[in-house]
Amino acid sequence: MTVIAIDGPAGAGKSTIARALAHRLGFEFLDTGAMYRAIALAALERGIDVEDDAALTELVDDVEIDLQGDVVTLNGRDVSKVIRGPHVTAAVSKVAAVKGVRRAMAAIQRARADAGNVVIEGRDIGSAVVPAADIKIFLTASKGERARRRARQLGLATDESSLGEVARTIEDRDRADAEREASPFVMANDAVEVDSTGKDIDTIVDEIARAARRVIDER
């Protein structure tokens, strides 16, 4: 049973690549960032202060999150689209920094990893959640490329001024995640760095899939 961890900064294309790779290999796909976004959405809807660690930790025990491919449900409600909104994006780093939240989410993520044959995408998978993953990929891209991808994902304008604002938002998110005390965002020592700048999806997936098949074939 094989576990592939794909980490990287915001806008590097992790979800797109991980989803396509899972499809190529016939593996399960798990977007861990969506889990934290779902918790952030629940907090916002209940009026919980995202600075209140205790309340957020209690909240985790009071909600049910399920991910099946691209479909994310919160207490049985499909929130796949709403969790990508700007209000959730602005709150998710603070929510994800809470130790109690990360501990609960990591337990779910490890259980999914234990089932094997899964591509797990996130920001601390190879370094903290599943450090024994069979393959660890750290997916990167230039700042400009990441800003353009995120703007297109959110349906925002792609003029120079708008992209500059998106780039600043991405940098703030990466800095917050790197500086958090619980499972900070870092590249695992044994991860393979893949720069996706200027590459199409198939090229990147081919590169990772070849490495994955070598691991699978050796077993």
CATH number at residue 170: 3.40.50.300
Any domain includes 182 = yes
Task: Name the nearest CA neighbour of 7 among 200, 174, 144.
Answer: 174
Q: What pLDDT does residue 53 have?
A: 95
Any domain includes 218 = no
**pLDDT, mean of residues 184-199:** 86
Spatial CB neighbours of 199, under 8 Å, sequence gap ≥ 6? none
Residue 219: band (very low, low, confident or very high) from pLDDT cuts 50, 70, 90 = low
- The mean of the pLDDT values for the chain is 88
Q: Name the more confident of 5 and 198.
A: 5
**pLDDT, mean of residues 60-85:** 93
| Residue 6 in this model has a pLDDT that exceeds 90 | yes
Residue 198: band (very low, low, confident or very high) from pLDDT cuts 50, 70, 90 = confident
- Provide the domain limits for residue 135: 3-213
For residues 145, 85, 36 and 41, what is the CA-based torsion angle, rounded to 10 degrees? 170
Any domain includes 35 = yes
Q: What is the pLDDT of residues 108-145, one digit of tens each?
A: 999 999 998 899 999 889 999 999 999 999 998 888 88
Any domain includes 219 = no
**pLDDT, mean of residues 30-35:** 93
Round to whole Å and give the CA distance between 119 and 27: 7
**pLDDT, mean of residues 169-187:** 79
Q: What is the DSSP letter of 77?
A: E
Phi and psi torsions of 50, nearest 5° = -70, 0
Among 15-29, 67-81, 154-168, whose mean pLDDT is lowest? 154-168
Q: Are 120 and 35 in contact (CB under 8 A)?
A: no
Q: Are 11 and 156 in contact (CB under 8 A)?
A: no
Of the chain, the percentage scoring pLDDT greater than 70 comes to 99
Count Cβ atoms below 10 Å from residue 63 Cβ, excluding itself: 15
Residue 21: band (very low, low, confident or very high) from pLDDT cuts 50, 70, 90 = very high
pTM: 0.85
| Residue 81 in this model has a pLDDT that exceeds 90 | yes
Round to whole Å and give the CA distance between 210 and 32: 24
Q: Name the more confident of 168 and 133.
A: 133
Any domain includes 181 = yes
| Residue 85 in this model has a pLDDT that exceeds 70 | yes
Of the chain, the percentage scoring pLDDT greater than 90 comes to 53
Any domain includes 174 = yes
User: What's the number of domains the chain is made of?
Assistant: 1
